[in-house]
């Protein structure tokens, strides 16, 4: 029987296992899927963004849960980079402050990590699917039939509710609720939004929209002309970046950065010429020939074909009047399972400062199971690793108090 059971072999679960093994504790990691770290590997397909290189005071403001601050203080951007280097994976910081392994992919980092875990004595079993509680034990479906484990302490790192095919299916929610654990309802985060395009937009699907400022605006304000050109609006949040048009709608980094206010009902608008004031735009338009076509005028102002198509799609009646505030009507977020991450999960009132479930002493939670939200850009992975580390250290301390061999305690 393992001293400590970790359920879930993603970043949070593996980090918890590493901390427990470092304390000299026997650890068994059980993973439902045939292989480990599936969502982690998927995240690294286009370049593994491990963290964001920025001052800690700024870094922590990107999370909506103040409870994460002491946890991130112990394993923030600097510690993540040192941890990668200790695994033989050098990192570099891009122009946006995002940090990547030199190899760019997740697989070399994961392979090195698994080798180190094996050397520390961590046992990993795949195709072991947790199916709920069995009295005081944890019941599993395994290749050898049903099994029930009764460890000294347990760390749950089962992920959230998006990308179910990679293992985050939230099947654990009713089991924990049945034990008195409060779990907030899931909401998609860092996701795309649906747009009802006209057939004329089909040639532009897959095209990026670059160099614009995206604005989340108050939905209660008016977009009625005030002076024949400008619009009345209140900008709640804005982000300079890019996004992609698709048959399903809009997606990409610029959209994800504003996904929370847009999900909560804000409207999306674009400043297509963030480098020009409205006064300068008016001056340039006044200097153009009166007979020029609208498309030619847009081109002369600096818009590319995709940006001009957006203007004609959503402002055909007054295409030159909305260049600093072009509303993009959204039809709601894409489905939860398509989201990069989620909001919702185990509520903070249900856990102690050590991430131990108050209703289940000896059971700790980490990673996306907890109710927190953050943007992409390295923030998601950093918090998963940090909470896994924190929960692993706390589990080791709990086992030590119970008379086990643990030697570690949670650190700041």
Domain assignment present for 93: yes
The pLDDT score that the predictor gives to residue 408 is 35
The pLDDT score that the predictor gives to residue 404 is 55
Split into its structural domains, the chain has a count of 2
What CATH code is carried by the domain that includes residue 127? 3.50.50.60
Shared-domain flag, residues 227 and 277: yes
Q: Is 139 exposed, middle or buried (0-12, 13-18, 19+ CB in 10 A)?
A: middle
Shared-domain flag, residues 307 and 357: no
Shared-domain flag, residues 181 and 251: no
- Domain boundary at 311, 328, 345, which? 328
Show the tokens assigned to 191: 């996701």
Shared-domain flag, residues 23 and 136: yes
Shared-domain flag, residues 239 and 383: no
Domain assignment present for 194: no
Shared-domain flag, residues 29 and 119: yes
DSSP letter for 97, please.
Answer: S
The pLDDT score that the predictor gives to residue 165 is 86
Shared-domain flag, residues 292 and 158: no
End-to-end CA, the chain: 31
Shared-domain flag, residues 178 and 228: no
Shared-domain flag, residues 149 and 218: no
Shared-domain flag, residues 282 and 357: no
Residue with tokens 């199916």: 131
The pLDDT score that the predictor gives to residue 411 is 38
Positions of the chain with pLDDT lower than 50, given as ranges:
221-231, 405-412
Domain assignment present for 240: yes
Shared-domain flag, residues 366 and 267: no
Domain assignment present for 412: no
- Domain boundary at 328, 346, 362, which? 328
Above pLDDT 70, what percent of the chain?
Answer: 94
Sheet holding 153-156, edge to edge: 123-126, 27-31, 4-7, 153-156, 363-365
Q: Is 57 exposed, middle or buried (0-12, 13-18, 19+ CB in 10 A)?
A: exposed
Full residue range of the structural domain in which residue 223 is found: 199-328
């Amino acid at each position: 029987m393992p001293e400590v059971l970790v359920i879930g072999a993603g970043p949070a679960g593996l980090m918890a296992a590493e901390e427990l093994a470092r304390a000299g504790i026997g650890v068994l990691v059980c993973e439902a899927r045939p292989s480990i770290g599936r969502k982690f590997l998927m995240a690294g397909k286009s370049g593994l963004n491990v963290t964001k290189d920025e001052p800690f005071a700024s870094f922590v403001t990107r999370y909506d849960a103040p409870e994460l601050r002491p946890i991130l203080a112990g394993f923030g951007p600097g510690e993540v980079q040192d941890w990668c280097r200790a695994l033989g994976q050098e990192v570099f910081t891009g122009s946006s402050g995002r940090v990547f392994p030199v190899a760019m992919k997740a697989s070399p980092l994961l392979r090195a990590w698994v080798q180190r875990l094996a050397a520390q004595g961590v046992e990993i079993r795949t195709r072991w699917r947790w199916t709920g509680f069995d009295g005081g034990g944890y019941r599993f479906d395994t290749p050898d039939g049903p099994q029930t484990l009764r460890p000294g302490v347990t760390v749950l790192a089962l992920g959230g509710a998006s990308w179910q095919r990679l293992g985050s299916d939230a099947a654990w929610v009713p089991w924990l609720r049945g034990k008195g654990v409060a779990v907030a309802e899931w909401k998609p985060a860092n996701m795309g939004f649906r747009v009802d395009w006209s057939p004329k937009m089909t040639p532009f699907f897959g095209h990026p929209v670059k160099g614009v400022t995206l604005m989340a605006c108050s939905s209660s304000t008016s977009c009625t002309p005030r002076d024949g050109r400008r619009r009345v609006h209140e900008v709640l949040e804005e982000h300079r970046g890019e996004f992609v048009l698709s048959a399903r709608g809009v997606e990409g980094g610029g959209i994800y950065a504003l996904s929370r206010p847009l999900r909560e009902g804000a409207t999306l608008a674009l400043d297509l010429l963030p480098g020009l004031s409205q006064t300068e735009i008016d001056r340039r338009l006044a200097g153009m020939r009166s007979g020029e076509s609208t498309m030619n005028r847009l081109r002369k102002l600096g818009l590319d074909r995709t940006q001009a198509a957006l203007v004609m799609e959503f402002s055909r009646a007054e295409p030159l009047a909305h260049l600093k505030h072009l509303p993009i009507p959204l039809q709601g977020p894409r489905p939860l399972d398509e989201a990069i991450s989620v909001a919702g999960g185990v509520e903070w009132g249900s856990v102690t400062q050590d991430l131990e479930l108050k209703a289940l002493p000896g059971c700790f939670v980490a990673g996306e199971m907890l109710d927190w939200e953050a943007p992409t850009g390295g923030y998601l992975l950093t918090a998963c690793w940090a909470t896994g580390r924190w929960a692993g250290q706390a589990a080791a301390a709990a086992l030590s108090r119970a008379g086990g061999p643990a030697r570690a305690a949670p650190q700041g």
